[in-house]
Structure 1
């Protein structure tokens, strides 16, 4: 572009999501979506929604959903915020809480949207290297900073830490806001929500996209002290005062109220994840311990990018990251048992073709 106003446009390097195919006949294991449908109560809520009311704005605070989440987690409603997916919630959190001239800290291998927001909002940042086993060292987060954001479990590794780790980070960062991104926590990780009343500088972010099978609805939530949530709401009202639509609110409430279905679905994914991980290990892969709905795996004598491309030709979509330190790893979403068996059979054929057998 070479026009008089070109130098006034913002230069951006956007986040790249998992590839979406126009072909519906694929096994989609690249976006960490839940392979199971949402709760039947969610489907009933959507079908029973009074469409005539769509002429009205939704509740600006999504009160019914914030109230349902508050009751579910044993919090006051003023400690809950909901937004249009956890990505929007985190973006608003950047605007609300990261306003220092000091850099915010996050791992070098993590959710790749974090640096994108930093560049978009002019937030200085510094990455901290995970070790050779992709473990985060809490001591790296002790020095002066403008805030901390950590995913737990981490992405794309799936590795999670417990209460002691989280409190260590919080205890050494009392003068800044610490955001714990719990997008995958329901699949076996530790949730820091129980620490909110102990640490007034803590924000916990969760999503309905993964464990609640509502990626298509775009519902995210933040939990924290009433003071921090009030500021988050104020920032939201400066940006978009009605972020959650009425149908999404109804669906979200129905999901929260059907705890039995929620837990049953999670357990199915966990069982499949553990079986699949053992199968991959049996084929010579290194598979990192996961508390998410995906696994992070590598086989040193197999080129990950080539395997990724071969799987795609078979209409099996997995995730490959052409990034330093992880360019020979694959992130594989956990699908149904049938989907994972199809993928395992593909891997066996692929490995046999490499050995000439």
Structure 2
């Protein structure tokens, strides 16, 4: 006789709370969409042209399982060997591959708090213990984090959702103090003062850097990410990945995007300028805004307004920002850096709400 619904699910997932992505309206027209950290610009024209050229009869064939053309282009860009690059279906797949390769059921993963909300649900799927380490009040690392003996640690830098950034010495102390793998999630690093691929080139054998094409390359819809590390760590990721995890068009887009450095740099500079303007506009309206090293800002509304209520009121007026329910960030909003027109619409709507 069939069992009651839900009893087929493994015990670890019966109270499972999956990651909730930012809202994607069914009809995009009319919305000011500043909730999912997408690019304010379209992809490089060279990417569009490459994709058009890539659409043909060869789509009937499976892609190269190791995406060697894209790996080669990424390796040249970062000055590392091709065997130091792994490709993924977005950075999120590479995060999941870290769990497959470096930790397992009953083992620990060390996380900072607050941090990217994807890590904990993936840990639950893999039945890992989560060792939590709250950031200090000034958003620096607690001493306990480097000392944690977990076989896998994640450091989002710049952090999500706060946008705060750790300098080279802070990252180096975690890498040198850790006995397991340190996965440095650099999804937003192109908007930060520095990146940490120098540590990869210097041969730190327990460091893996994770990147995405979704933000500074404007390819969120393609679902492309990559990891950099020693050949041994990259081989471990390839050992546990799906056979054809990056499709033919994705690999084509990756090559065209990373080779158009001029367009990429212009996009990043535009975001930096708009980030400064958005920060000033919010502060002028009484918001507390953390210094950001990402393509978003993290802000707290004036004391007389709740973040959840403000996010809801904005949504009613077709302006989307991100609000997280869980502590310690429930009183804050994360707002994507967009165009000046989008910012004007946001600030104008905020004035209607806060007055």
Calculate the TM-score normalised by the size of structure 1. 0.94
Counterparts of 2:146 and 2:305, CA distance in 1: 35
Instruction: Write out aligned runs for 1:302-341 (5 A).
Output: 302-341=305-344
Is 1:15 the equivalent of 2:19?
yes
Counterparts of 1:143 and 1:50, CA distance in 2: 48
Query: Once the two structures are superposed, what CA deviation does each residue of 1:241-280 show, in whole Å capped at 9, x if it has no partner?
Result: 1011111111110001100000000110110001110111
| 340-349 or 268-277, which deviates more | 340-349
Aligned residues between the structures: 347
Is 1:226 the equivalent of 2:231?
yes
Counterparts of 2:166 and 2:328, CA distance in 1: 21
Is 1:85 the equivalent of 2:100?
no
Secondary structure in 1 matching 2:268:
helix
1:269 matched residue in structure 2: 271
Counterparts of 1:198 and 1:54, CA distance in 2: 38
Secondary structure in 2 matching 1:119:
helix
Secondary structure in 2 matching 1:122:
coil
1:176 matched residue in structure 2: 180
Calculate the TM-score normalised by the size of structure 2. 0.94
* RMSD between aligned residues: 1.5
Secondary structure in 1 matching 2:326:
coil
1:153/1:184 contact within 8 Å kept? yes
The partner residue of 1:295 within 294, 297, 306 is 297
Counterparts of 1:192 and 1:225, CA distance in 2: 14
1:32 matched residue in structure 2: 37
1:138/1:165 contact within 8 Å kept? no
Shift of the alpha carbon at 1:134?
Answer: 3.7
Shift of the alpha carbon at 1:49?
Answer: 1.6
Instruction: Write out aligned runs for 1:161-240 (5 A).
Output: 161-173=166-178, 175-196=179-200, 197-236=202-241, 240=242
2:19/2:117 contact within 8 Å kept? yes
1:29/1:317 contact within 8 Å kept? yes
Query: Judging changes above 3 Å, is the alpha-carbon distance between structure 1 residues 315 and 30 closer, same or farther for their aligned structure 2 residues?
Result: same
1:76 matched residue in structure 2: 81
1:105/1:128 contact within 8 Å kept? yes
Task: In structure 1, list runs of 5 or more residues that go unmatched.
Answer: 353-357
Query: Once the two structures are superposed, what CA deviation does each residue of 1:48-104 show, in whole Å capped at 9, x if it has no partner?
Result: 224111011111101110000000000000000001000001101111012485422
Counterparts of 1:257 and 1:199, CA distance in 2: 27
Counterparts of 1:96 and 1:48, CA distance in 2: 36
